[in-house]
Structure 1
Amino acid sequence: MKRNIRVKEAAHYIGLSKSTLDKLRHFGGGPRYYKLGRAVVYDTEDLDAWKAERARTETWNGANDNSRAARAA
């Protein structure tokens, strides 16, 4: 169900602190948000999509010099 929520509730919704969400909004890299006057509002569908984009199956990535293949050599 789609709904709009404020920053504190949005942070709780995705499992981050309000401070972290504020920093992501300020410096970039955070979920899409709407500015309605002075209020910042997040759509729960945007939060779900942002969180899903960060899903991982392992901690190592291919660009890392310490990748599994490099460690095996």
Structure 2
Amino acid sequence: MADQLLTIKEVAERLGTWETSGERFPRRLIAERRIAYVKVGRHVRVSAAILAAFISANTVQPRQARRTMRAVA
């Protein structure tokens, strides 16, 4: 089964940027070559698996709380 190819609008919706910047953010990612894409004629598409990998690679994990030992007097 082939991977699903997403339009720029669908990429923006999945990234949660559609309401604020529309297609501008995904297009910038493509222009800066920060995300892989496929050209189908003049249309630009992004693989759903590539988008999921991009999101995973750019996910920042929370810090672990440090335990400090205090001297008890």
TM-score, structure 2 as length reference = 0.67
Question: Match of 1:28?
Answer: 33
Q: 3-state SS of the aligned residue for 1:42?
A: strand
- Tell which structure's C-alpha radius of gyration is larger: 2
Q: 3-state SS of the aligned residue for 1:56?
A: coil
Aligned structure 1 segments of 4 or more residues deviating by more than 3 angstroms:
none
Q: How does 1:38-57 map to 2 (within 5 A)?
A: 38-57=42-61
The residue identity in structure 2 corresponding to 1:49 is: A
CA-based RMSD of the aligned residues comes to 2.0
Q: 3-state SS of the aligned residue for 1:48?
A: helix
The size of the alignment, in residue pairs, is: 58
Distance in 2 between the 1:4 and 1:24 partners?
Answer: 16
Distance in 1 between the 2:61 and 2:15 partners?
Answer: 18
Question: Match of 1:64?
Answer: none
Question: Match of 1:63?
Answer: none
Question: Match of 1:8?
Answer: 9
TM-score, structure 1 as length reference = 0.67
**1:58, CA displacement in angstroms?**
4.0
Distance in 1 between the 2:33 and 2:43 partners?
Answer: 18
Identical columns (%): 22
